[in-house]
Structure 1
Amino acid sequence: MSDLDAAKKAARVAAFARRAAAHAAARPGQAGHLSSVLAGHRGVPVSGYMAMRSEIDPLPAMEEAAAHGPVCVPVIVAKGLPLKFARWEPGCAMVEGPFGARVPEVIDYIEPEILIVPLVAFSRRGGRLGYGGGFYDRTLELLRGKRPTLAVGFAYGAQEDPEVPLEVTDQPLDLIVTEAEVITPGG
Protein backbone atom coordinates (compact mmCIF):
# COMPACT_ATOMS: atom_id res chain seq x y z
CA MET A 1 0.00 0.00 0.00
CA SER A 2 1.44 3.38 -0.99
CA ASP A 3 1.76 6.26 1.47
CA LEU A 4 -1.09 8.07 -0.34
CA ASP A 5 -3.35 5.00 -0.14
CA ALA A 6 -2.59 4.67 3.58
CA ALA A 7 -3.32 8.38 4.12
CA LYS A 8 -6.63 8.08 2.27
CA LYS A 9 -7.58 5.00 4.29
CA ALA A 10 -6.83 6.76 7.59
CA ALA A 11 -8.68 9.90 6.48
CA ARG A 12 -11.74 7.82 5.52
CA VAL A 13 -11.84 6.05 8.89
CA ALA A 14 -11.72 9.36 10.77
CA ALA A 15 -14.23 11.03 8.43
CA PHE A 16 -16.72 8.14 8.65
CA ALA A 17 -16.67 8.49 12.45
CA ARG A 18 -17.25 12.26 12.27
CA ARG A 19 -20.04 11.79 9.70
CA ALA A 20 -21.79 9.12 11.81
CA ALA A 21 -21.76 11.43 14.85
CA ALA A 22 -23.10 14.35 12.81
CA HIS A 23 -25.80 12.16 11.29
CA ALA A 24 -26.90 10.92 14.72
CA ALA A 25 -27.27 14.54 15.90
CA ALA A 26 -28.92 15.83 12.71
CA ARG A 27 -32.19 17.73 12.84
CA PRO A 28 -34.71 18.37 10.05
CA GLY A 29 -33.81 21.02 7.48
CA GLN A 30 -30.30 19.79 6.66
CA ALA A 31 -30.80 20.44 2.92
CA GLY A 32 -31.93 24.06 3.21
CA HIS A 33 -28.70 25.58 1.86
CA LEU A 34 -28.62 23.01 -0.94
CA SER A 35 -32.14 24.05 -1.98
CA SER A 36 -30.99 27.67 -2.08
CA VAL A 37 -28.02 26.82 -4.31
CA LEU A 38 -30.18 24.79 -6.71
CA ALA A 39 -32.80 27.58 -6.85
CA GLY A 40 -30.22 29.63 -8.74
CA HIS A 41 -30.11 26.97 -11.48
CA ARG A 42 -33.80 26.28 -12.17
CA GLY A 43 -34.38 24.01 -15.16
CA VAL A 44 -30.77 22.80 -15.41
CA PRO A 45 -30.53 18.98 -15.26
CA VAL A 46 -29.32 18.04 -11.79
CA SER A 47 -28.15 14.75 -10.33
CA GLY A 48 -28.78 14.00 -6.69
CA TYR A 49 -28.34 10.72 -4.86
CA MET A 50 -30.33 8.46 -2.59
CA ALA A 51 -28.66 8.75 0.81
CA MET A 52 -27.20 5.58 2.27
CA ARG A 53 -26.12 4.86 5.83
CA SER A 54 -24.99 8.13 7.45
CA GLU A 55 -24.87 10.32 4.31
CA ILE A 56 -26.57 13.70 4.55
CA ASP A 57 -29.88 13.47 2.70
CA PRO A 58 -30.40 15.69 -0.38
CA LEU A 59 -33.94 14.38 -1.01
CA PRO A 60 -35.84 17.55 0.07
CA ALA A 61 -33.71 19.68 -2.28
CA MET A 62 -34.12 17.13 -5.08
CA GLU A 63 -37.90 17.17 -4.66
CA GLU A 64 -37.93 20.95 -4.89
CA ALA A 65 -35.63 20.98 -7.94
CA ALA A 66 -37.85 18.40 -9.68
CA ALA A 67 -40.66 20.95 -9.74
CA HIS A 68 -38.52 23.14 -12.02
CA GLY A 69 -36.51 20.77 -14.21
CA PRO A 70 -35.11 17.28 -14.70
CA VAL A 71 -33.54 15.46 -11.75
CA CYS A 72 -31.67 12.18 -11.93
CA VAL A 73 -29.73 9.79 -9.72
CA PRO A 74 -26.48 7.91 -10.43
CA VAL A 75 -26.46 4.39 -11.80
CA ILE A 76 -23.30 2.31 -11.44
CA VAL A 77 -22.90 0.48 -14.74
CA ALA A 78 -19.73 -1.44 -13.86
CA LYS A 79 -16.61 -1.11 -11.77
CA GLY A 80 -14.09 1.20 -13.44
CA LEU A 81 -16.64 2.99 -15.65
CA PRO A 82 -18.18 6.46 -15.31
CA LEU A 83 -21.64 6.70 -13.81
CA LYS A 84 -24.79 7.01 -15.88
CA PHE A 85 -27.81 8.92 -14.61
CA ALA A 86 -31.45 7.80 -14.55
CA ARG A 87 -34.29 10.32 -14.49
CA TRP A 88 -35.90 10.47 -11.05
CA GLU A 89 -39.18 12.00 -9.95
CA PRO A 90 -40.61 12.28 -6.43
CA GLY A 91 -42.52 9.12 -5.62
CA CYS A 92 -41.21 7.08 -8.55
CA ALA A 93 -40.76 3.36 -7.98
CA MET A 94 -37.22 2.55 -6.85
CA VAL A 95 -35.23 -0.69 -6.79
CA GLU A 96 -31.85 -1.69 -5.42
CA GLY A 97 -29.09 -1.17 -7.97
CA PRO A 98 -25.43 -2.22 -7.96
CA PHE A 99 -23.51 -1.55 -4.72
CA GLY A 100 -26.85 -1.14 -2.90
CA ALA A 101 -27.69 2.29 -4.32
CA ARG A 102 -31.39 2.79 -5.04
CA VAL A 103 -32.26 3.57 -8.66
CA PRO A 104 -35.56 4.16 -10.49
CA GLU A 105 -37.32 0.99 -11.52
CA VAL A 106 -37.77 2.41 -15.02
CA ILE A 107 -34.42 3.62 -16.37
CA ASP A 108 -34.48 6.70 -18.61
CA TYR A 109 -30.92 7.99 -18.93
CA ILE A 110 -30.24 11.74 -19.01
CA GLU A 111 -27.04 13.74 -18.59
CA PRO A 112 -26.84 16.23 -15.71
CA GLU A 113 -25.03 19.56 -15.73
CA ILE A 114 -25.04 19.87 -11.94
CA LEU A 115 -23.99 16.95 -9.74
CA ILE A 116 -24.76 16.83 -6.04
CA VAL A 117 -21.84 14.69 -4.95
CA PRO A 118 -21.81 12.53 -1.81
CA LEU A 119 -18.50 12.29 -0.02
CA VAL A 120 -16.62 11.08 2.99
CA ALA A 121 -14.50 14.20 3.61
CA PHE A 122 -13.89 17.59 1.99
CA SER A 123 -11.49 20.51 2.24
CA ARG A 124 -12.33 24.18 1.82
CA ARG A 125 -10.02 24.17 -1.20
CA GLY A 126 -12.48 21.90 -3.04
CA GLY A 127 -10.79 18.58 -2.33
CA ARG A 128 -13.09 15.58 -2.01
CA LEU A 129 -12.45 12.19 -0.49
CA GLY A 130 -14.96 9.66 -1.75
CA TYR A 131 -15.41 5.97 -1.16
CA GLY A 132 -12.41 4.92 -3.26
CA GLY A 133 -14.09 3.61 -6.41
CA GLY A 134 -13.32 6.69 -8.52
CA PHE A 135 -16.85 6.76 -9.99
CA TYR A 136 -17.43 10.49 -9.51
CA ASP A 137 -13.89 11.41 -10.58
CA ARG A 138 -14.26 9.53 -13.88
CA THR A 139 -17.76 10.90 -14.39
CA LEU A 140 -16.84 14.51 -13.71
CA GLU A 141 -13.82 14.28 -16.00
CA LEU A 142 -16.04 12.91 -18.79
CA LEU A 143 -18.83 15.46 -18.32
CA ARG A 144 -16.46 18.41 -17.93
CA GLY A 145 -14.83 17.39 -21.22
CA LYS A 146 -18.20 17.98 -22.92
CA ARG A 147 -19.52 21.13 -21.20
CA PRO A 148 -19.27 23.13 -18.00
CA THR A 149 -20.40 20.84 -15.17
CA LEU A 150 -20.92 22.03 -11.60
CA ALA A 151 -19.83 19.62 -8.85
CA VAL A 152 -21.54 20.42 -5.55
CA GLY A 153 -20.23 18.43 -2.61
CA PHE A 154 -22.97 17.87 -0.01
CA ALA A 155 -21.85 16.94 3.49
CA TYR A 156 -22.13 17.64 7.17
CA GLY A 157 -19.76 20.38 8.33
CA ALA A 158 -18.14 17.77 10.60
CA GLN A 159 -16.79 16.04 7.47
CA GLU A 160 -14.38 18.91 6.78
CA ASP A 161 -10.72 17.91 6.76
CA PRO A 162 -8.16 20.62 6.00
CA GLU A 163 -5.70 18.06 4.59
CA VAL A 164 -7.72 15.74 2.33
CA PRO A 165 -5.16 13.47 0.60
CA LEU A 166 -5.56 13.91 -3.16
CA GLU A 167 -4.34 12.32 -6.37
CA VAL A 168 -3.97 14.05 -9.74
CA THR A 169 -7.07 12.18 -11.00
CA ASP A 170 -9.28 13.54 -8.19
CA GLN A 171 -11.79 16.03 -9.60
CA PRO A 172 -12.30 19.22 -7.55
CA LEU A 173 -15.60 20.40 -6.14
CA ASP A 174 -16.93 23.76 -7.35
CA LEU A 175 -19.01 24.29 -4.21
CA ILE A 176 -19.40 22.54 -0.89
CA VAL A 177 -22.76 22.75 0.84
CA THR A 178 -23.22 21.73 4.47
CA GLU A 179 -26.16 21.96 6.84
CA ALA A 180 -24.76 25.32 7.99
CA GLU A 181 -23.06 27.03 5.04
CA VAL A 182 -22.13 27.22 1.37
CA ILE A 183 -18.37 27.15 0.74
CA THR A 184 -16.82 28.42 -2.48
CA PRO A 185 -13.32 26.97 -2.78
CA GLY A 186 -10.74 29.70 -3.22
CA GLY A 187 -13.47 32.29 -2.60
Structure 2
Amino acid sequence: MSGEAERKAATRQAAFAARKAAFAAGQGQAAELLADVLAAERGRVLAGYMPMRTEIDPLPAMAAHQGPVGVPVIIGAAQPLRFREWTPGCALETGAFGAQIPAEVAWVEPAVLIVPLLAFDARGYRLGYGGGFYDRTLEGLRARGPVLAIGFAFAAQEVEVVPIDATDQRLDMIVTEREVRRF
Protein backbone atom coordinates (compact mmCIF):
# COMPACT_ATOMS: atom_id res chain seq x y z
CA MET A 1 0.00 0.00 0.00
CA SER A 2 1.41 3.40 -0.98
CA GLY A 3 1.91 6.22 1.53
CA GLU A 4 -1.10 8.10 0.13
CA ALA A 5 -3.29 4.99 0.29
CA GLU A 6 -2.18 4.37 3.89
CA ARG A 7 -3.04 7.97 4.84
CA LYS A 8 -6.47 7.62 3.23
CA ALA A 9 -7.10 4.33 5.04
CA ALA A 10 -6.11 5.83 8.41
CA THR A 11 -8.25 8.92 7.77
CA ARG A 12 -11.22 6.70 6.83
CA GLN A 13 -10.88 4.67 10.05
CA ALA A 14 -10.82 7.82 12.22
CA ALA A 15 -13.69 9.36 10.21
CA PHE A 16 -15.92 6.32 10.72
CA ALA A 17 -15.42 6.65 14.47
CA ALA A 18 -16.09 10.41 14.46
CA ARG A 19 -19.23 9.96 12.36
CA LYS A 20 -20.53 7.18 14.62
CA ALA A 21 -20.15 9.39 17.70
CA ALA A 22 -21.78 12.36 15.96
CA PHE A 23 -24.66 10.18 14.76
CA ALA A 24 -25.32 9.05 18.34
CA ALA A 25 -25.50 12.71 19.43
CA GLY A 26 -28.26 13.52 16.90
CA GLN A 27 -28.64 15.38 13.63
CA GLY A 28 -29.68 18.77 15.00
CA GLN A 29 -30.72 21.26 12.33
CA ALA A 30 -28.90 19.52 9.47
CA ALA A 31 -31.94 18.65 7.35
CA GLU A 32 -33.41 22.14 7.79
CA LEU A 33 -30.16 23.82 6.75
CA LEU A 34 -29.91 21.53 3.73
CA ALA A 35 -33.54 22.24 2.73
CA ASP A 36 -32.82 25.99 2.96
CA VAL A 37 -29.85 25.60 0.60
CA LEU A 38 -31.91 23.48 -1.80
CA ALA A 39 -34.71 26.08 -1.91
CA ALA A 40 -32.43 28.18 -4.15
CA GLU A 41 -32.16 25.18 -6.51
CA ARG A 42 -35.92 24.88 -7.08
CA GLY A 43 -36.79 23.12 -10.34
CA ARG A 44 -33.30 21.69 -10.89
CA VAL A 45 -32.79 17.93 -10.84
CA LEU A 46 -31.42 16.91 -7.45
CA ALA A 47 -29.59 13.71 -6.56
CA GLY A 48 -29.52 12.71 -2.92
CA TYR A 49 -28.79 9.37 -1.32
CA MET A 50 -30.47 6.78 0.87
CA PRO A 51 -28.62 6.95 4.21
CA MET A 52 -26.90 3.82 5.45
CA ARG A 53 -25.55 3.01 8.89
CA THR A 54 -24.42 6.27 10.54
CA GLU A 55 -24.66 8.58 7.50
CA ILE A 56 -26.43 11.87 8.11
CA ASP A 57 -30.00 11.71 6.74
CA PRO A 58 -30.85 13.90 3.71
CA LEU A 59 -34.32 12.37 3.13
CA PRO A 60 -36.37 15.21 4.71
CA ALA A 61 -34.59 17.80 2.53
CA MET A 62 -34.92 15.58 -0.54
CA ALA A 63 -38.66 15.17 0.09
CA ALA A 64 -39.07 18.95 0.39
CA HIS A 65 -37.22 19.68 -2.88
CA GLN A 66 -39.32 21.42 -5.52
CA GLY A 67 -38.19 19.42 -8.55
CA PRO A 68 -37.18 15.93 -9.65
CA VAL A 69 -35.06 13.91 -7.21
CA GLY A 70 -32.87 10.90 -7.90
CA VAL A 71 -30.77 8.50 -5.87
CA PRO A 72 -27.51 6.84 -6.95
CA VAL A 73 -27.27 3.45 -8.58
CA ILE A 74 -23.92 1.70 -8.87
CA ILE A 75 -23.72 0.35 -12.42
CA GLY A 76 -20.38 -1.42 -11.99
CA ALA A 77 -16.85 -1.11 -10.67
CA ALA A 78 -14.96 1.94 -11.95
CA GLN A 79 -18.16 3.34 -13.53
CA PRO A 80 -19.83 6.67 -12.81
CA LEU A 81 -23.09 6.52 -10.91
CA ARG A 82 -26.47 6.79 -12.58
CA PHE A 83 -29.53 8.09 -10.79
CA ARG A 84 -33.03 6.64 -10.55
CA GLU A 85 -35.91 8.99 -9.89
CA TRP A 86 -37.09 8.85 -6.28
CA THR A 87 -40.22 10.10 -4.54
CA PRO A 88 -41.18 9.65 -0.88
CA GLY A 89 -42.88 6.30 -0.44
CA CYS A 90 -41.83 4.87 -3.80
CA ALA A 91 -41.15 1.13 -4.03
CA LEU A 92 -37.52 0.34 -3.23
CA GLU A 93 -35.23 -2.61 -3.84
CA THR A 94 -31.75 -3.44 -2.61
CA GLY A 95 -28.91 -2.34 -4.87
CA ALA A 96 -25.14 -2.70 -4.69
CA PHE A 97 -23.56 -2.55 -1.21
CA GLY A 98 -27.05 -2.89 0.31
CA ALA A 99 -28.20 0.61 -0.67
CA GLN A 100 -31.91 1.05 -1.28
CA ILE A 101 -32.81 2.23 -4.80
CA PRO A 102 -36.15 2.89 -6.48
CA ALA A 103 -37.61 -0.23 -8.09
CA GLU A 104 -38.91 1.77 -11.08
CA VAL A 105 -36.20 2.45 -13.63
CA ALA A 106 -36.72 6.09 -14.54
CA TRP A 107 -33.32 7.75 -14.95
CA VAL A 108 -32.55 11.42 -14.19
CA GLU A 109 -29.38 13.45 -14.69
CA PRO A 110 -28.74 15.72 -11.71
CA ALA A 111 -27.63 19.34 -11.74
CA VAL A 112 -27.33 19.34 -7.93
CA LEU A 113 -25.86 16.47 -5.89
CA ILE A 114 -26.00 15.85 -2.15
CA VAL A 115 -22.81 13.89 -1.61
CA PRO A 116 -22.25 11.53 1.33
CA LEU A 117 -18.78 11.35 2.83
CA LEU A 118 -16.59 10.12 5.64
CA ALA A 119 -14.49 13.26 6.10
CA PHE A 120 -14.10 16.75 4.63
CA ASP A 121 -11.65 19.63 4.99
CA ALA A 122 -11.73 23.43 4.80
CA ARG A 123 -10.57 23.32 1.16
CA GLY A 124 -13.76 21.53 0.11
CA TYR A 125 -12.31 18.09 -0.43
CA ARG A 126 -14.11 14.97 0.76
CA LEU A 127 -13.04 11.48 1.62
CA GLY A 128 -15.47 8.81 0.49
CA TYR A 129 -15.47 5.06 0.86
CA GLY A 130 -12.71 4.49 -1.70
CA GLY A 131 -14.61 3.37 -4.80
CA GLY A 132 -14.26 6.68 -6.63
CA PHE A 133 -17.91 6.62 -7.74
CA TYR A 134 -18.72 10.23 -6.87
CA ASP A 135 -15.42 11.54 -8.22
CA ARG A 136 -16.02 9.87 -11.60
CA THR A 137 -19.64 11.01 -11.60
CA LEU A 138 -18.83 14.63 -10.78
CA GLU A 139 -16.05 14.72 -13.36
CA GLY A 140 -18.41 13.47 -16.09
CA LEU A 141 -21.30 15.74 -15.11
CA ARG A 142 -19.06 18.80 -14.85
CA ALA A 143 -17.67 18.10 -18.31
CA ARG A 144 -21.23 18.56 -19.65
CA GLY A 145 -22.13 21.69 -17.68
CA PRO A 146 -22.37 23.32 -14.28
CA VAL A 147 -23.13 21.00 -11.38
CA LEU A 148 -23.47 21.92 -7.71
CA ALA A 149 -21.87 19.36 -5.36
CA ILE A 150 -23.03 19.68 -1.75
CA GLY A 151 -21.29 17.59 0.87
CA PHE A 152 -23.61 16.61 3.72
CA ALA A 153 -22.00 15.56 6.98
CA PHE A 154 -21.73 16.07 10.70
CA ALA A 155 -19.42 18.91 11.77
CA ALA A 156 -17.37 16.29 13.66
CA GLN A 157 -16.37 14.76 10.31
CA GLU A 158 -14.12 17.71 9.46
CA VAL A 159 -10.43 16.89 9.39
CA GLU A 160 -7.43 19.15 8.99
CA VAL A 161 -6.50 17.85 5.54
CA VAL A 162 -8.15 15.21 3.38
CA PRO A 163 -5.48 13.25 1.47
CA ILE A 164 -6.24 13.77 -2.23
CA ASP A 165 -4.99 12.69 -5.61
CA ALA A 166 -5.50 13.97 -9.15
CA THR A 167 -8.91 12.31 -9.60
CA ASP A 168 -10.54 13.75 -6.47
CA GLN A 169 -13.33 16.25 -7.16
CA ARG A 170 -13.83 19.26 -4.90
CA LEU A 171 -17.18 20.06 -3.31
CA ASP A 172 -18.86 23.43 -3.89
CA MET A 173 -20.22 23.56 -0.34
CA ILE A 174 -20.65 21.57 2.83
CA VAL A 175 -23.76 21.49 5.00
CA THR A 176 -23.51 20.24 8.58
CA GLU A 177 -25.87 20.40 11.54
CA ARG A 178 -24.12 23.65 12.49
CA GLU A 179 -23.45 25.59 9.29
CA VAL A 180 -23.35 25.99 5.54
CA ARG A 181 -19.90 26.61 4.11
CA ARG A 182 -19.17 27.52 0.48
CA PHE A 183 -15.80 26.80 -1.12
Task: Provide TM-score, normalisation by structure 1.
Answer: 0.96
Q: How far 1:45 sits from its partner (Å)?
A: 0.2
In the TM superposition, structure 1's runs of 4+ consecutive aligned residues that sit over 2 Å from their partners are 27-30
SS at match of 1:54: coil
> After the TM superposition, which residues 13-162 of structure 1 pair with which residues of structure 2 at under 5 Å, given as runs?
13-27=13-27, 29-65=29-65, 68-162=66-160
In structure 2, the partner of 1:163 is 161
Task: Provide TM-score, normalisation by structure 2.
Answer: 0.98
Q: How far 1:28 sits from its partner (Å)?
A: 5.3
Report if aligned partners of 2:119, 2:158 keep a CA contact under 8 Å in 1. Answer: yes
- Distance in 2, matches of 1:115 and 1:50, equals 13
**Any unmatched runs of 5+ in structure 1?**
none
**Number of corresponding residues:** 183
In structure 1, the partner of 2:8 is 8
Cα deviations across residues 21-75 of structure 1 (Å, max 9, x unaligned)?
Answer: 000110454311100100011010000000000000000000000xx21000000
Q: How far 1:99 sits from its partner (Å)?
A: 1.2
What amino acid maps onto 2:53 in structure 1?
R
Identical residues among aligned pairs (%): 56
- Distance in 1, matches of 2:175 and 2:83, equals 21
**Any unmatched runs of 5+ in structure 2?**
none
- Distance in 1, matches of 2:99 and 2:70, equals 13
Q: How far 1:162 sits from its partner (Å)?
A: 1.5
Cα deviations across residues 111-136 of structure 1 (Å, max 9, x unaligned)?
Answer: 00000000000001101100000000
SS at match of 1:80: coil
Report if aligned partners of 1:84, 1:109 keep a CA contact under 8 Å in 2. Answer: yes
- Distance in 1, matches of 2:153 and 2:28, equals 15
